[in-house]
Amino acid sequence: MPFVELDTNLPAGHVPAGLEKRLSGATAAILGKPEDRVNVTVRPGLAMVMSGSAEPCAQLLVYSIGVVGTAEENRGHSARFFEFLTKELKLGQDRILIRFLPVEPWQIGKKGSVMTFL
């Protein structure tokens, strides 16, 4: 069950319409998870500084069970997410950061329980 959060200082009017749905589909394809399990949040217009600069930038946080736990996995995921984000947001790779955070099934609550038992 991936959770993807895209934070950017781009104004909402500069974020392509429907980005959240396309990011959901891209996340499913990149991580090999069913899209009906992907959760996406897009937060534009934030006050952000990256590498000492307030120029347009974005940070992507990717939380998931079982598919973001190694450098080898994340190197492949990173390349594909960067390809998607640079195209969609029109930002250079030096203005995008990605954080991969593995989570355990017991850390995600759903339907009054946790994923361990569902």
Residue 107, CB-side half-sphere exposure with 13 Å CA sphere: 11
Q: 14-38 as b/e, with b when 16 or more CB fall inside 10 Å?
A: ebeeebeeebbebbbebbebeeebb
Q: Strand runs (DSSP E) across 2-95, as ranges? A: 3-8, 39-43, 58-65
Q: How far apart are CA 74 and CA 79, in angstroms?
A: 8
Q: Residue 105 — φ and ψ, nearest 5°?
A: -55, -35
Which residues form the catalytic set?
2
- Looking at residue 28, what is its pLDDT? 98
- pTM (2 d.p.): 0.95
Q: How far apart are CA 11 and CA 51, in angstroms?
A: 19
To 5 degrees, how large is the angle CA 34–CA 35–CA 38? 105
- Looking at residue 109, what is its pLDDT? 95
Neighbours of 46 (CB within 10 A): 12
In DSSP terms, 4 is beta-bridged to: 40, 62
- Each of the 118 residues of the chain gets a pLDDT tens digit; together they read 999 999 999 999 999 999 999 999 999 999 999 999 999 999 999 999 999 999 999 999 999 999 999 999 999 999 999 999 999 999 999 999 999 999 999 999 999 999 999 9
